Amino acid sequence: MENEIEKLKMEHQKQKKKSFTLIALLLLVTFVSIGYATLSSTLNINGTSTIDNPTWDIEIEDDADIDCPTGEKCTINPSNPESLTPDDGTGDDAKGAIIWMDGNTVYFKHLLVKPGDKFEFTTKFSNNGTIDAKVDTVTKSDLNATAQRFLTYDVTYANGNAVNSGDLLRAGEEATFKVTVTYKSTVTALPTAEELALINETSQGHTGATSLFTVNYVQA
């Protein structure tokens, strides 16, 4: 009799183990199914999106971005500009100023006749990219010691404000710079031939210089 009872107990324990195993398997299958359904719903995303590539494009676009004041004759981006000599701007082939560009650098030759004369022009830099920019440096060629006795040379914004490192040029905007070269009104005597040679001028009795300036922008 006791053996029969033990057999029944053992059989009952086996049935319980089978039940627990079956429940565990059912739970496992349920969790796997839920996880798969979640994964499937995550992967099945409808719709599209587009991320534009950022672009960097700051430049002087064309000749129209160089502007000489009324009455000033300027020759812009001619062939072989280095070989040309500026004149007083009054003849049939007048070229009172010769201006040309290379990347973010502007070169110019000018001719000033007498104390008090001033040569001035503006140039426009456009930010055609999608990245905001800021001024890193503005570099202008230095007048030599002899030229400095007769001339002053400056680069500002068109409104006369100083150009500072960090000035912003946002995407889609433009900045206009003004170049001003002045024959000092305090000069009482015209330069000698030797002095003219030193300041790189070719016409006796006139003063001038070949100059350049560069505006370097970096990402804001």
Tens digit of pLDDT for each residue in 20-58?
A: 454 544 444 444 443 434 333 343 445 454 546 889 999
**Is the model more confident about 206 or about 64?**
64
Q: Would you say 135 and 164 are in contact if contact means Cβ atoms under 8 Å apart?
A: yes
| pLDDT at residue 88 is higher than 60 | yes
**Token digits of residue 170:** 């946002």
Please state the domain extents for the chain: 1-49, 58-219
**Token digits of residue 199:** 């300041």
Q: What share of the chain is helix, strand, coil (3-state, %, to 5)?
A: 25, 30, 40
Rounded Cα distance, 102 and 79, in Å: 13
Partner residues linked to 214 by β-bridges: 105, 139
Indicate the average pLDDT of the chain: 75
Q: What residues contact 201, with CB distance under 8 A and at least 6 apart?
A: 111, 191, 207, 208, 209
Q: Give the position of tokens 């020759």.
A: 75
Rounded Cα distance, 129 and 218, in Å: 12
Q: Would you say 42 and 36 are in contact if contact means Cβ atoms under 8 Å apart?
A: no
User: If DSSP codes are grouped into helix, strand and coil, which group holds residue 68?
Assistant: coil
What's the mean pLDDT in 12-22? 51
pLDDT of residue 94: 63
Neighbours of 204 (CB within 10 A): 10
Rounded Cα distance, 109 and 99, in Å: 7
pLDDT of residue 11: 58
**Is the model more confident about 37 or about 178?**
178
pLDDT of residue 126: 93
Alpha helix stretches (DSSP H) within 72-198: 145-150, 193-198
pLDDT of residue 136: 94
H or E segment to which residue 174 belongs: strand 174-183
Cβ burial, residue 101 (10 Å; 0-12/13-18/19+): buried
**Token digits of residue 6:** 């033990």
pLDDT of residue 39: 36
Tens digits of residue pLDDT in 113-139: 788 888 889 999 999 999 999 999 988
Query: 174-183 and 97-102 as β-strands: parallel, antiparallel, unpaired?
Result: unpaired
Q: What residues contact 107, with CB distance under 8 A and at least 6 apart?
A: 81, 99, 100, 101, 210, 211, 212
| pLDDT at residue 200 is higher than 70 | no
| pLDDT at residue 61 is higher than 90 | no
